[in-house]
Structure 1
């Protein structure tokens, strides 16, 4: 799997880790579960950093910033494995957003340098789907149901239930039942929406590209000038 897609999967793993910590009151994990999870996340982050370095991309401030941010996330995940739950959760709180942000910077750098590593944009992703997949990658999307109706809740850009169902139908996203924390004290767990492996690979082809500027289509022809009859005096 390409490194950018691996980063998107890593962000999903951080979201799953954080969700697990946030739903402790609803589950009974085995001792050491979260310690091992944080250790694995640190190892995964370092592995992706190595994979990016092995591409031997041209040096650039954006690439350097992305790799430094990922190294910080690896250090924080490693530290989280040695703290109790509350402190551990604080250390990984913003990891999904940081990892996705680094993925976007690396992908944009590859396109800017016309790197042979940059894939062709997935033609299934219009602006609406691209935005939805990006919000899912950030760990912003959960769903709930009430009286037979499904609802999408987002911490960022709005995502419609129809868009989510379309992504699920195409195998780009999936829901994990009752894996996200409740919306309010005493409420039931929500369903976390995650990228599938195919969704991560698809988003990796367009992440870092402004949705509105992809495939703009032909430029409309200028309107024909209209002649105005001379006004009588």
Structure 2
């Protein structure tokens, strides 16, 4: 499961970089990164196969889902290779504007192919976790100490959905789909379950300054594996938290 969470994180970083880098750098860096991700997908498939559990329908679907990611990422490799070829091909001054548009288009196609990869990897991790939990008796885990709001924030972070931005001198949390509060993220950060990577994510709406990507730490990934596949996927946030909250001057805002 941890391998699949790591794969989701790799795809999140890959997507962030493709969105942030200038086309020339995105094509060069992204081509290599996508090749690495294809190998990572195949290794994850083998890890699922090697896991001692019943190969039921959900596990089979989890394996197929990661194989699909490998295929889609392989197609992204080809688009990025084409972008690299366009950049290195001789061009007259009159051809350069259209050449730049072609490069940007190839990168855009590559980005679309891996856009949903983090969520797909997490869904496969959930299926594998569910199969493993069925084989093991229910026991208390460290994640039992987490409030529902913290589990929701960790789950959204694993999907690559959470960033921290700034507006008018104040910080705010932004998450696609889930309600995640800045105070919850700071508490998780203080507990060593998430890390904030400054300026590493594109702004959610395509304009403005880069945002700070929130990522799982190794401890956070272990916490997610403990509750993933048990009950509801994203529980509703409660009003209290068992983690020590850190007081900040910036008000929490959720978009």
Instruction: Give the TM-score taking structure 2 as reference length.
Output: 0.75
The number of residues matched between the two structures is 208
> How do 1:46-195 residues align onto structure 2 when only pairs under 5 Å count?
46-84=42-80, 85-114=107-136, 120=141, 122-195=143-216
1:228 equivalent in structure 2: none
CA deviations over 1:7-47 (Å, ceiling 9, x no partner): 1111011011011111124x873762111100111111111
CA deviations over 1:42-89 (Å, ceiling 9, x no partner): 111111211121123112101101100011111111221111312211
- For 1:122 and 1:154, the matched residues in 2 are separated by 21
Q: Which has the larger radius of gyration?
A: 1
- Would you say the 8 A contact 1:119–1:205 is kept in 2? no
Instruction: Give the TM-score taking structure 1 as reference length.
Output: 0.82
- For 1:94 and 1:185, the matched residues in 2 are separated by 17
- Would you say the 8 A contact 1:121–1:206 is kept in 2? no
Change (3 A) 1:173 1:160: same
In structure 1, list runs of 5 or more residues that go unmatched: 213-233
SS of residue paired to 2:78: coil
1:32 equivalent in structure 2: 28
Residue 12 in 1 paired to residue 2 in 2? no
- Would you say the 8 A contact 2:133–2:229 is kept in 1? no
CA deviations over 1:190-218 (Å, ceiling 9, x no partner): 11111111111110111122356xxxxxx
- Identify, as 1 or 2, the structure richer in helix: 2
- Would you say the 8 A contact 2:18–2:26 is kept in 1? no
1:149 deviation in Å?
Answer: 2.3
